[in-house]
Amino acid sequence: MFSTFMVVLPIFALILAGFLVRRLGVLGPAATTELNRFVVYLALPALLFDIIAHTRWADVWQPGFIGAFGLSSFAVFALTVAARRRGPRHLADAAIDGLNAGYANTGFIGFPLVLVALGREALAPAAVATIITVCVLFAVAIVLIETGLQTEKRRGRLAMKVARSLARNPLLVAPLLGALVPICGLAVPDPVEAFLKLLGGAAAPCALVTLGLFLAQKRAQSAPDTGSTAALVGLKLVLQPVLAWGLATFVFGLSPLLTHTAVLLAALPTGTGPFMLAEFYRREAQVTSRVILASTVVSILTVSGYLAWAG
């Protein structure tokens, strides 16, 4: 319990730092948008490029683990999008809600947590889960958002508009370019490597500070959508790890280490990716910010409970 709390504590500290500097007037009202654009256009693309460029095929190709973690993430994502679309929810907002329910915080919390709980052997599967989450699932959500925001009715022209928007999106272009490095047998030059490390290292803290800035903004009072927040947190912290455990145990027959890694990563709280997309596309982000905070707090209990149960 204490180890889990110590891993999550820096996450809260960064969010609190953003909240305080906005409330104290150190940063102005435009800071949220501008810092988020820095993350989306510079820091996060550098991080994604660096991760993919240094990933070996032998570490990535673990079909059973990919199936257990990936299918659990996509199943929760698809279920949430379908459920939200049954109402008047816009496709772009439904896609962000899908990320709220299926986007595990594998990058910021996953690596240190599996290292503490399971050892270094779990780091390679954690890298696989991060690629699935921040690249593949993220890309699917961006496709849905771009499709929902286009007004063109003809399918051919709509497809071309979406394709052009995606081709200009740095969150998709960066990992695709990074994949060319191992495929072509290339090596990243040392100066470029140092540049990527410095810039990519800013993605996590800046994204969390941005979330704190958003929470500190004074806005018109509205009744909090407690039901949606609770449902999304429940899908993230309960349904996704249960699906991952069932797939790992009964479908793919994974080893205990890979099973525990898949379940533990699936049980992580919602990452900041949905919030960054909501801010970037100027969609409603209050539910997203509440889900991130609530799931992070509650996950201290749920993750600790799973670790205690699993021994």
Predicted pLDDT of residue 154: 63
Whether 243 has a pLDDT exceeding 70, the answer reads: yes
Task: Give the span between the Cα atoms of 294 and 298, in whole angstroms.
Answer: 6
- Rg of the chain (C-alpha set): 19
**Percent of the chain with pLDDT strictly greater than 70:** 92
> How confident is the model at residue 108, as a pLDDT?
73
How far is 186 from 171, CA to CA, in rounded Å? 22
Give the Cα separation of 245 and 248 in Å (integer). Answer: 5
pLDDT tens profile 246-289: 999 999 999 999 999 999 999 999 988 898 888 888 888 888 88
What's the confidence (pLDDT) of residue 172? 78
Three-state DSSP class for residue 125? helix
Band of the pLDDT at 151, cuts 50, 70, 90? low
Torsion region of 187: left, alpha or beta (phi above 0 gives left; psi -120 to 50 gives alpha):
beta
DSSP code of 270?
B
Residues in the chain: 311
Residue 77: predicted pLDDT: 97
The residue ranking higher by pLDDT, 207 or 221, is 207
The more confidently predicted of residues 269 and 120 is 269
Query: Which class would CATH give 2-216+223-310?
Result: mainly alpha
Concatenated DSSP letters of 34-73: HHHHHIIIIIHHHHHHHHHHT--HHHH--HHHHHHHHHHH
Token digits of residue 228: 């949606």
Q: How far is CA 75 from CA 65, 90, 170, 191, in A?
A: 15, 20, 26, 41
Q: Indicate the pTM of the whole model.
A: 0.79
Q: Provide the residue ranges of all domains of the chain, joining segments of one domain with +.
A: 2-216+223-310
pLDDT at 130 over 80: yes
Would you state the pLDDT for residue 226? 84
pLDDT in tens, 30-89: 898 899 889 889 998 898 888 888 877 776 788 999 999 999 999 999 999 999 888 778
